[in-house]
Chains A and B, each alone.
Chain A
Amino acid sequence: MTGSEAILKGLEVEGVEVVFGYPGGAVLPLYDAIYDSNLRHVLVRHEQGAAHAADGYARVTGRVGVCIATSGPGATNLVTGIANAYMDSIPVVAITGQVPTTAIGNDAFQEINITGITLPITKHSYLIKQAEEIPHVIREAFYIASTGRKGPVLIDLPKDVQVEAFDLDERDFTRPVKLRGYKPTVKGHALQIKKAATLIEGAKKPVIYAGGGVIASGASKELIELAELIGAPVTTTLMGIGAFPINHLLSLGMVGMHGTKYANYAICDADLILAVGVRFDDRVATDPSQFAKDAKVIHIDIDPAEIGKVIIPDVPIVGDAKNILRALIDRLIDSRFDYSEWFNVVRGWKEAYPLRYNPEDGLKPQYIIEKINELAPDAIITTEVGQNQMWAAQYFKYSEPRTFITSGGLGTMGYGLPAAIGAKVGAPDRTVIDISGDGSFMMKCQEIATAVEGNIPIKVMILNNQYLGMVRQWQELFYDRRYSFTDIHSRTDFVKLAEAFGAVGMRVTKLKEVVPALKRAFEIDEVVVIDFRIEREENVYPMVQAGAPLDEIIEPKTVPENVFPTCEKEALEVE
């Protein structure tokens, strides 16, 4: 068997059904083997798209996403995608071609030290020197990517290793992985769980703060059960959206910089924060010194390095969220909880400070998202980065995990379109919608060709304000409206562009055109791009300025607000 055949055999054993890739000189033997295999290969139009598609596929399916690129520029084009997966702890295996082992280090044509470049953005990486290493490397790579705190693993595969013939012992593909330096803690420490339970029993104003770790762990059911058992309100991070149904009575929606006012108030006012699978990042703990400053903190995370990184918890519990939440439920099941007083306060905030915008005043992006939600409530939403991402997070009602696919940590513009392709490949029966902006769309628009040629009928909704909207918003608020290079008013015609790729293009400029256009988009089984010409200077609100405490909230002045009488906190008005 050759190295290439061994790679494919390994992928098969790991249950890989699809890879996203782009051929090139240093992966010719591997692609030659793919030519004869049953493995589905989605040909992207740029390697970054392959990494994002693998990432989107992984987020939707919960399985490991696989991408392939050639050496040199192919490998470096993967880098942003690998970093994106790393920042959001997404299981991805990236296979890169490499120049022959004899040429490594000689600045050969299309040679790049990709294991070196990706050292800080991979969970682990391999440079395979001999074909006989392939079985255990594939096995380890998938194991490492998909266990503990998940993440990307890179396998660099020299061209001569791909053609090297060797005697394969097939059992090597299924032997248990033994890594003495890698033993993720899965089960929570019993004493810590007991301490956490005691804190929960003693709390008066608890809030559950849930993140991407809940989704990674598959712990939504346990999260809902625990929240209902103790009656505590739940807010999620951007990465945690979908982990707790937004329509649930106890849901506070998203917390943080563009979180709901009531979620932020609840965090500020809580006396206990139960943090599950979160990392207190700077978009949530905007000012760590003020974050939940009167609250005790229980921090559940699978990664011991997250404990105490930003906030020092009163009770840290390292382990898998699903296990630990279950253990907490078991421990608390016979306790009585009455948080009705706190619940009423929170509900009061929720009624008084809903997410709001003025729908009267032109074509509003929030309105479009609401209509998408009405017409395709079961859709999987991917997003780009910026205002489109925040509106998609705020105005679509997510009711289950793995339906909101977004670049959280790295904030990669151009992520949503290839991620939508990966998502649709992973969930072919679902409607998959990329909520995009005109800036982000241009970063990866060539992947429309991938979707069209691969018969992957995704729907791309461009919220086109002819600005780099989020940067413009910051310039408006903090840089005296000096719109330095964010006004991208251009003659680029997205409808024609879509058509040029063989997709269906539509343009919507008026409120009344929104629903018919969406209906048509969802009816036809084709790749659709809709260019929504939205109000140019609509902003994302509420907003907490970077570094400010969570209860210093900037809100639009143009929309009336009913002030809830028991709340003493004043919103900072601008505009």
Chain B
Amino acid sequence: MVKHTLTVLVENKAGVAARVTGLFTRRGFNIDSINAAITDKPDISRLTIVITSEKEGGERQLEQITKQLNKLIDVIKISDITAYDSIERELVLIKVDATPEQRTEILQIVEIFRARIVDLAAGSMIIEVTGAEDKIAAILTMLADFGIKEVARTGKVAMIRGAKTL
């Protein structure tokens, strides 16, 4: 089982995400996360797709998908950056049950993970945390004991370290 991170620059046009994801669904791949937003150039969007190849021959299929993605007219550039040393981040909002007695304990966890409390109500709070996958997983585990009511994740974004660009 190998996790792959693909970064894709696409034309900022209607239907592009459907064209891209269609190539995965056709081959029965499940997308772990997908993030899409415009870049500094308003006519270009950047997608970050995280995919797990678990089937036999999955690696070869993924290579085929990458090649097919490259063929899409609206895809400008695609890289599988899995093998590169890269910065990977995800932003997560977590709404947890928090009675007044539990707040201090949660606050400690939040500090340790360098997260932030962005909303506080009588019985709950929303925590914003940014980080790589293992950090997100760790804080979610810690907060699970208090009762997680809701989670919203942006999906991973990533960028290769150093001067190299897409």
Which residues of A come within 8 Å of B, CB atoms?
A: 115-116, 119-120, 123-124, 127, 144, 149, 179-182, 303-305, 308-309
Contacts and interface: CB of A to CB of B under 8 A. Distances in A.
12 contacts: A119-B19, A120-B26, A123-B73, A127-B15, A179-B73, A180-B76, A181-B72, A181-B73, A181-B74, A304-B67, A305-B64, A305-B67
Contacts of A120: 22, 26
B121 interface: no
Contacts of A309: 64
B9 to A, nearest CB: 8
A127 B14 contact: yes
A311 to B, nearest CB: 12
Interface string B60-76: 00011001101111111
A127 B76 CA distance: 20
Nearest to A148: B71
Contacts of B18: 116, 119
Nearest to B9: A181
Given A181-B74, A308-B63, 14 more contacts: A115-B15, A116-B15, A116-B18, A119-B19, A119-B22, A124-B73, A127-B14, A144-B73, A181-B11, A181-B76, A303-B71, A304-B71, A305-B70, A305-B71
Interface string B108-137: 000000000000000000000000000000
A559 B76 CA distance: 58
Nearest to B67: A305
Nearest to A119: B22
The list of the 5 closest CB pairs from A to B, nearest first, reads: A305-B67, A181-B76, A124-B73, A182-B73, A181-B75
A35 to B, nearest CB: 32
Interface in B64-109: 64, 67-68, 70-77
A124 B19 CA distance: 9
Residue of A181, A182, A303 contacting most chain B CB atoms (<10 Å):
A181
* Residue of B11, B71, B72, B76 ringed by the most chain A CB atoms within 10 A: B71
A144 B19 CA distance: 16
Nearest to A309: B64
A169 to B, nearest CB: 21
A139 to B, nearest CB: 13
B69 to A, nearest CB: 9
Contacts of A180: 76
A119 B70 CA distance: 15
A116 B25 CA distance: 14
A358 B10 CA distance: 60
Nearest to A153: B73
A305 B73 contact: no
B134 to A, nearest CB: 34
Contacts of A127: 14-15
A119 B14 CA distance: 13
Nearest to B66: A305
Contact of A304 (B14, B70, B72, B73): B70
Contacts of A144: 73
A179 B11 CA distance: 10
B67 to A, nearest CB: 4
B20 to A, nearest CB: 10
Nearest to A305: B67
B61 to A, nearest CB: 10
A140 to B, nearest CB: 8
A83 to B, nearest CB: 13
Nearest to A303: B71
Contacts of B70: 304-305
A540 B150 CA distance: 63
A289 to B, nearest CB: 13
B75 to A, nearest CB: 5
A116 B73 CA distance: 16
A232 B36 CA distance: 52
A304 B71 CA distance: 9
A134 to B, nearest CB: 16
Interface string B3-42: 0000000110011001100100010000000000000000
Nearest to B74: A181
A219 B109 CA distance: 69
Nearest to A149: B71
A308 B57 CA distance: 13
B14 to A, nearest CB: 7
A268 B15 CA distance: 45
A116 B14 CA distance: 11
Contacts of A115: 15
Interface centre among A123, A180, A303, A308 (most CB of B within 10 A): A180
Interface string B35-65: 0000000000000000000000000000110
Contacts of B15: 115-116, 119, 127
Nearest to A115: B15
Nearest to B75: A181
Contacts of A123: 73
Contacts of A181: 10-11, 72-77
Nearest to B16: A181
Contacts of A149: 71
A313 to B, nearest CB: 14
Nearest to B68: A305
A228 B98 CA distance: 83
Contacts of A182: 73
A290 B166 CA distance: 40
Interface centre among B10, B18, B67, B76 (most CB of A within 10 A): B67
Contacts of B10: 181
Contacts of A116: 15, 18
Contacts of B77: 181
A493 to B, nearest CB: 44
Contacts of B19: 119
Nearest to B77: A181
A303 B70 CA distance: 11
A182 B76 CA distance: 8
B7 to A, nearest CB: 15
Interface in B143-161: none
Contacts of A303: 71
Nearest to A306: B67
Nearest to B19: A119
Contacts of B64: 305, 309
A202 B54 CA distance: 41
Contacts of B76: 180-181
Contacts of A304: 67, 70-71
A181 B13 CA distance: 13
